[in-house]
Amino acid sequence: MKYIFVAGGVMSGVGKGVATASIGRILKSKGFKVTAIKIDPYINVDAGTMNPTEHGEVFVTEDGAECDQDVGNYERFLDENIYTDNYLTTGRVYQTVINRERNLEYNGKCVEVVPDIPNEVIGTIKRAGKKVKADFVLIEIGGTVGEYQNLLFLEAGRMMKILHPKDVFFILVSYLPVPAKIGEMKTKPTQYAVRTLNSAGIQPDMILARSVLPIDEPRKKKIAVNCNVASEDIISAPDVESIYDIPLNFEDENLGNRILKKFGLKSKPSNLLDWEKFVKKTKNVSKIVEIGIVGKYFETGHFTLADSYISVIEAIKHACFANNVKPKISWLSAESYEKDPKILSELKKFDGIIVPGGFGSRGIEGKIKAIEYCRKNKIPFFGLCLGMQLAVIEFARSACGLKDATSAEFKQISENILIDVMPEQKVLLKEKRYGGTMRLGSYNCKLKQGTKSKIAYKSELISERHRHRYELNNNYKEILEKKGMVFAGVNPESDLVEIIELPNHPFFVATQFHPEFKSSPLRPHPLFKAFIKACIK
């Protein structure tokens, strides 16, 4: 097994995750089995307890780990499932070590930060690789070199190199600014970043030069001389129109074979034909579909950040390209509909509306208003998780006359709790055991004949990923059904409702699960495809 560590220099947010995922795609296309690991330096045990506006989307794996959004990038680029062991945080590592110590597993030894914490990291990395019999394990270390927080993870990399000198490789993803007033790409911050990495005992084998522009030869040489890295191993990584261009750009720089060479492996051709075909499509489509996303996790100060909904955005893109259109996505603030319902009429200009997942009561009534507008005005609507729960509440209020219909998440006392806390969740909430305890990961769903969902999936039994505590209260199924709501998908084991639909509408489908987590460029999701098709119509 070969290990490739990816660390960031100069600043955060330069696309380390996508770079890691792209390297993985290239190695996979050369016939290797690849997996990727994300290390977050947070004390949080997983990403499930982090505010999405601050940290971005919480991605959920098949086996129910609540991860950083980069894990979503790995899955989308690699087209491989990523599992719990592939996501590490400082909190999780310490928790494991401490539990072990309490169980006397260190045999009376004094347990220390170094080497016991890095050793735990190394053990997890190896386990994750072994689980899928990987030839290459990519390990992305979150944060930037020089930070206090990720030092122990760099230390794990350094120690691993001593253990397996021929099998460990380090990549630094750096940033080269081109200050507007100077008009020249500057290499000094990268030189400092390499020196900082050196002081942690690590010499990078390769540098990815992120910048607005491609890096030229003189600057490659400058970095080569100052940073002890061969000029050929400084890979140009300019800003791109689409993240899906990146594997192809890296291949133009011969990245894959440079890595193989460093490991003493023979060069191998890459087979990125299907990827190229997809990328070509993204460039050639011109027809636009306008999608509005009614949410609340994108307003931060003066900026709009779409990171909280990244898998939804990518799933829309995949489905659009599969339908030969491209999306124009607009962020619609649920709270603005509460303040001024007149704004709702803006929904008319969209080809389709998505109400994605969310937590807590902020913005809920605005989302319900938007759903009502879509239902009454026959605008294609796709609800995801909370989006399904609110579609049920809206329908109960407007169509079934249950004016006080609500969810136990927003109001504990009401005559009509349409969305109730799942029985096994009750005790967890009472004991305040919030972390990692939702209904998480993959569960089965049986589809009903003749529904839009069944037609889209072309199969009767499907499996999708979940992240929720609340669920449609089955006591209300009859009354909802009587007024025309169709339960298109149900979990065969627990009888929980997984999909609702309204017939006599161009597209009104909502899921309790998160279909967006299973969409990839080469395997666009059937429900997203069906939604986009309805939007085009």
Specify the 3-state DSSP secondary structure of 5.
strand
Select from 3-11, 46-54, 234-242, 462-470 the region that touches ligand GLN (CB under 6 A). Answer: 462-470
> Strand 417-421 relative to strand 470-472: parallel, antiparallel, unpaired?
antiparallel
d(CA 43, CA 479): 46
CB of 13 to ligand GLN, least distance (A): 25
Q: How many residues does the chain have?
A: 537
Whether the CB-CB separation of 80 and 332 falls below 8 Å is answered with no
* x/- track of binding to ligand GLN for residues 372-391 (CB under 6 A): -------------xx-----
Toward ligand GLN, which CB reaches closer, 20 or 389?
389
CA distances from 15 to 6, 69, 155, 239, 262 (A): 11, 12, 23, 10, 24
Tokens of 349: 């200009």
535 is catalytic: no
Q: Which of 41, 247, 327, 357 binds ligand GLN (CB under 6 A)?
A: 357
Size of the site for ligand GLN (CB under 6 A): 10
Cα separation, 197 vs 279, whole angstroms: 35
CA distance 332 to 294: 5
Q: Hey, how many other C-beta atoms are within 10 angstroms of the C-beta on 478?
A: 9
Which amino acid is residue 366, in one-letter code? G
Q: Give the containing element (helix H, strand E) for 375.
A: helix 364-376
Q: Provide the minimum distance between the beta carbon of 10 and ligand GLN in the complex, in angstroms, as a whole number.
A: 35
Quote the least distance from Cβ 388 to ligand GLN, whole Å: 8
Report the nearest approach of ligand GLN to the CB of residue 472 (Å): 10
Q: Does 467 bind ligand GLN (CB under 6 A)?
A: yes
The C-alpha angle with vertex 117 and arms to 116 and 118, in degrees rounded to 5, equals 95
**Residue 385: helix, strand or coil by DSSP?**
coil
Catalytic residue (one of 385, 400, 445, 535): 385
Catalytic residue among 227, 516, 525, 535: 516
Instruction: Retrieve residue 485's tokens.
Output: 């709501």
In the complex with ligand GLN, the residue whose CB is nearer, 357 or 515, is 357
Residue 363 within binding range of ligand GLN, rule CB under 6 A: no
Nearest approach, Cβ of residue 339 and ligand GLN (Å): 22
Q: Are 374 and 342 in contact (CB under 8 A)?
A: no
The residue (of 210 and 467) whose beta carbon lies closer to ligand GLN is 467
Q: Is 516 designated active site?
A: yes
Q: How many CB atoms lie within 10 A of CB 468?
A: 22
| Residue among 382, 511, 383 nearest 445 (CA) | 511
Q: How far is the CB of 104 from ligand GLN (least distance, A)?
A: 38
Which residue from 358, 366, 489, 515 is in contact with ligand GLN, where contact means CB under 6 A? Answer: 358
Q: Per CB under 6 A, which region of 167-175, 261-269, 354-362, 370-378 contacts ligand GLN?
A: 354-362
CB 363 → ligand GLN: shortest distance, Å? 12
Q: Is 385 assigned a catalytic role?
A: yes
Q: What is the DSSP string of 294-348?
A: EESTTEETTEE--GGGHHHHHHHHHHHHHTT-EEEEEEEEHHHHHH-GGGGGGGG
Q: Which of 409, 420, 464, 501 binds ligand GLN (CB under 6 A)?
A: 409
What six digits make up the tokens of 315?
């799933």
> What's the CA gap between 153 and 42, in Å, rounded?
12
Of 259-267, 351-359, 457-465, 503-511, which segment contacts ligand GLN by CB under 6 A?
351-359
Tell me whether residue 373 or residue 470 sits nearer to ligand GLN (CB atom).
470
How many C-beta neighbours within 10 Å does residue 277 have? Answer: 11
Stretch that binds ligand GLN, among 185-193, 232-240, 286-294, 461-469 (CB under 6 A): 461-469
Helices and strands in the chain: count of H runs, count of E runs: 19, 23
Write down the least CB distance from residue 421 to ligand GLN, Å. 8
* Nearer of residues 2 and 468 to ligand GLN, judged by Cβ: 468
> Which residue of the chain is nearest ligand GLN when measured via CB?
357
How far, in Å, CA of 346 to CA of 350, rounded? 8
Q: Which is nearer to ligand GLN, 457 or 470 (CB)?
A: 470
Q: Chain centroid to CA 112: how far?
A: 34
Which CB, 23 or 334, lies closer to ligand GLN? 334
CA 440, 445, 451, 454 torsion-angle sign: positive
Q: Can you tell me the distance from the alpha carbon of 182 to that of 101, in angstroms, rounded to the nearest whole number?
A: 56
Residues 164-183 that bind ligand GLN (CB under 6 A): none
CB of 309 to ligand GLN, least distance (A): 11
- Of 466, 514, 525, 535, the active-site residue reads 514
Q: Which stretch binds ligand GLN (CB under 6 A): 207-215, 286-294, 428-436, 466-474?
A: 466-474
Could you count the other beta carbons within 10 Å of the beta carbon of residue 84?
20
Q: At closest approach, how far in Å is the CB of 409 from ligand GLN?
A: 5
- x-marked contacts with ligand GLN along 468-507 as a string, rule CB under 6 A: xxx-------------------------------------
Cα distance between residue 65 and residue 63, in whole Å: 6
Task: Tell me if 318 contacts ligand GLN by CB under 6 A.
Answer: no
| Cβ neighbour number for residue 166 with a 10 Å cutoff | 10
Catalytic residues: 385, 514, 516
Binding region for ligand GLN (CB under 6 A): 357-359, 385-386, 409, 467-470
